[in-house]
Amino acid sequence: MVALEQVLILVIAGGASFIMAWTIGAGSSGSTPFAPAVGAHVISIMRAGFFVGILGFAGAVLQGANVAEAVGTGLVGGVVLTAPAAMVLLLLAAGLVIIGIFTGYPIATAFTATGAVIGVGLGLGGTPVWPAYIEIATLWMLTPFVGGGVAYLTARILRNDSVSDRQSIPVLGGIVGLILANIPFTLLRPASGGASIAAVLAAEFPVPSLAGVVLISLLFALLLALLLRRDLESNAEKAQHRFLLGLGGLVAFSAGGSQVGLAVGPLLAAFHGTSISVAVPLIALLLFGGVGLLAGSWMGAPRMIKAIAQDYSSLGPRRSIAALIPSFAIAQTAVLFGIPVSFNEIIVSAVVGSGFSAGSASISKRKMLYTAMAWVGSLALAIGAGYGTMQMLQIVF
């Protein structure tokens, strides 16, 4: 009888996890990556929603392991999240994100999900994991300054008449190539949490591993820079648009790798917290979460894409490129270290930074203030509601 009850709770927790993945796809990971490209009129809203769903699914499967394990087991010490606890926190976090979707304000999924995990875990009698909180808080606080600052400087360079696109864009492409060569992929070395393309290829060379990684990374950077230079010489405007779409695709891929862990991490912990001897591979949970992201992106992302693309700043192709490059770098840093990160915070900060390069008039300051308040409020509310709910359930039952 107990086993049947646990199976039923796991099924409900799985449904809550899918709802959470759907809301993530419809909200942060589904709306933000292509929003600058939509704002620059390079791609339509519906096409952006279609492609971001596919790329987010790929990122979830290929890069989702680190964040999933961190969210499931690394935020509260002394306890293991039970299936009922996972169900409560997933429904709570998803509910807050849904409110953000239908009100038009991009509530940060990472804030709500992380807050719900911490609140529920503490409500179960767990202990705070302060090193993890410090690491997460550091990234969250640095993101607006680093992302916005880099986007601002990049946009100023791209908008400088004394620097031609044939000089600046290939250099930026080379930087993207360096990052791309060194991002981790779970399937390359699953036993060790993943490996980069540069690391795997360097292992085949009879040279020190660090030297091999540097060489492969530089070759990636040079190749991408040369391809962009050739494309610019053929048709500069179309080359800009293709580079912008490529960056949007990389950010969408990164979003899937980071955000899926917010949905399936608690579910992973729920399976560990039951007495049912069912071995569920992590890759199966990532596929499950990836399907939820895909469905959410296709069904709910267009509304949020419009909100970010049009309400925050009127961007052209150059400023959109400037917004996406730091977004890609920050997202992959979070994936590498297994830190849950808000894509709304990343993209909005970068969009605002690039928007300021053309003057603050293009930025809705009132909208930004409300958004920041929604971020902080959703984190505090998720922690408080998660803790209070678990305390109440333990008293009642």
pLDDT digits (tens, 9 = 90+) for 112-152: 889 999 999 999 888 999 999 999 999 998 999 999 999 99
Question: What are the residues facing 128 on neighbouring strands?
Answer: 76
Instruction: Answer yes or no: is pLDDT of 192 > 80.
Output: no
pLDDT at 171 (0 to 100):
94
CA nearest neighbour of 74 among 216, 265, 204, 239: 265
What DSSP string describes 303-327?
Answer: HHHHHHHHHS----HHHHHHHHHHH
> In this structure, are residues 329 and 179 in contact, taking their beta carbons and an 8 Å threshold?
yes
Please give the residue that has the higher pLDDT: either 392 or 312: 392
> In this structure, are residues 31 and 298 in contact, taking their beta carbons and an 8 Å threshold?
no
- The residue behind tokens 């449904």 is 15
The pTM of the full predicted model, rounded to 2 decimals, is 0.87
- In the chain, which ranges are E strands? 76-77, 127-128, 184-185, 195-196
Tokens of 284: 């199966």
Instruction: Answer yes or no: is pLDDT of 1 > 50.
Output: no
Instruction: Answer yes or no: is pLDDT of 353 > 90.
Output: no
pLDDT, tens digit, for every residue of 245-264? 999 899 999 999 988 998 89
What is the three-class DSSP state of 246? helix
Instruction: Answer yes or no: is pLDDT of 100 > 50.
Output: yes
Cβ-in-10-Å burial (0-12, 13-18, 19+) of 201 comes to: middle
pLDDT at 277 (0 to 100):
52
Where does the pLDDT of residue 273 fall: very low under 50, low under 70, confident under 90, or very high at 90 and above?
low
Arithmetic mean of pLDDT, 214-232: 94
- The residue behind tokens 């939509």 is 38
pLDDT, tens digit, for every residue of 149-191? 999 999 999 988 888 888 899 999 999 999 999 998 887 877 6
Q: Look at strands 184-185 and 195-196 and give their pairing.
A: antiparallel
- The residue behind tokens 């990472």 is 110
CB under 8 Å to 336, separation ≥6 — which residues?
66, 183, 184
Give percent of the chain with pLDDT exceeding 90.
Answer: 31
Lowest mean pLDDT among 55-64, 69-78, 192-201, 274-283: 274-283
Arithmetic mean of pLDDT, 189-215: 82
CA nearest neighbour of 260 among 216, 293, 225: 293
CA nearest neighbour of 273 among 382, 129, 120, 393: 120
pLDDT, tens digit, for every residue of 319-335? 888 989 999 999 999 99
Please give the residue that has the higher pLDDT: either 318 or 326: 326
pLDDT at 362 (0 to 100):
53
Torsion sign over Cα 70, 72, 76, 79: negative
Torsion sign over Cα 311, 350, 252, 270: negative
What DSSP string describes 90-106?
Answer: HHHHHHHHHHHHHHT--
d(CA 365, CA 43): 26
Arithmetic mean of pLDDT, 331-354: 86
d(CA 114, CA 72): 10
